[in-house]
Copies of this chain bind each other. A is one copy, B any other.
Amino acid sequence: MTTTRAAGSAGGPEGAAELLARTRTAVDPRLRETVDSLPGQIRRIARYHFGWERADGTAASAHAGKAIRPALVLAAVHALGGDTRQAEHAAAAVELAHNFTLLHDDVIDEDPTRRNRPTAWTVFGIPDAIIAGDALCALALRVLAEDPHPAAQQASARLSACVIELCAGQQADCAFENRAPQDVTIAECLTMAEAKTGALLGCACAIGALYAGAAPDEVEAMDSFGREAGLAFQLIDDLIGIWGDPAHTGKPAGADLAAHKKSLPVVAAMASGSPAAAELAELYRGPAMDTATVRRAADAVERAGGRDWAQSQAADRMARAVHHLSRAVPDLTAADDLLALAEFVTRRTR
């Protein structure tokens, strides 16, 4: 089997940025030709969502996200000695599935902006945004169904199962909104985060393994690596949502607290049963928080142990991720791209 490096040796987080840039160079043409196969207005909405067009249909230069998931596909192929060029369509399929969830999540969560631009539903209306998301989901699976690679059908089974898990994660997330934060257990919250974030990162790695012709237990180990790294990523993201630097995150520190979001550090803090937990629960029962109250809430999360718990959970999840990875790739030096991506997503400041 020919081994081609899509991205050269990444070697640490700086290398990850380079790897992501090279992935975009390799996968973007596939993504664009596929999206351009969509009919009329749906194509326009998708091109707007990806940042390739402005609302008036003129060309724009915004790029379509960081391409972490396609980079994981290609890095997994590479780590297992496969030909990354043959997996470029599969990498595009995973990115299409991710963007389907973004379109629908923005409608469901009524989010007004994404990647510093108005969300598609605010520009084209809710019906068209729902329809464009549906079309991207079908397109992701169409790309795999039309891929002649022998792993394509198994990849399709994994990706469609993963979409169902993403749906379950989003559904659970919505359901938590209607419950008191102290009634959401840490286990429920971790299951939700794994479904909403870990599942697709795991699926990306597993599809890469399939395209490299890996054995079933290696495919499962790759899936577990991506899931655990995804959970670490979500824990860090939740920490940033409370203590992050607004200059880097683009949103004020404590934004998740102000919005009464039941993020993992908050749920862990509530579960501690400490006086700080009771204080936090009281603040969550109150009205939308002002800046001073947000600071009090962040302090309560910290005193109740939510910050430490999330940090140690994230470290633990990364350790588990690396352990799973070593089951699939015993010589971890062959998996440096995957390790660099995992480090990148968990050390990012935005």
Cα(A40)–Cα(B168), bound, Å? 8
A145 on the interface (CB 8 Å rule)?
A: yes
Question: Are A145 and B134 in contact, CB atoms less than 8 angstroms apart?
Answer: no
A131 on the interface (CB 8 Å rule)?
A: yes
Instruction: Report whether over half of chain A's contact residues are helix, strand or loop; otherwise say mixed.
Output: helix
Question: Are A134 and B131 in contact, CB atoms less than 8 angstroms apart?
Answer: no
Which chain B residue has the least Cβ–Cβ distance from A138? B163
Question: Are A142 and B130 in contact, CB atoms less than 8 angstroms apart?
Answer: no
Q: Which residues of B are found within 8 Å of A142, using beta-carbon distances?
A: 157, 160-161, 164
Nearest-neighbour CB distance to chain B for A127, whole angstroms, equals 4
Which chain B residue has the least Cβ–Cβ distance from A158? B145
Cα(A175)–Cα(B161), bound, Å? 33
A197 on the interface (CB 8 Å rule)?
A: no
Q: Name, among A100, A107, A165, A170, the residue most crowded by chain B CB atoms within 10 Å (CB to CB).
A: A170
Given contacts A108-B127, A141-B156, 6 further A-B contacts (CB under 8 A): A38-B164, A108-B131, A127-B174, A134-B137, A146-B157, A153-B156
- A-B contacts, 11 of them at CB < 8 A, read A38-B164, A39-B167, A41-B175, A42-B171, A104-B130, A127-B171, A131-B167, A132-B167, A138-B167, A141-B145, A145-B157
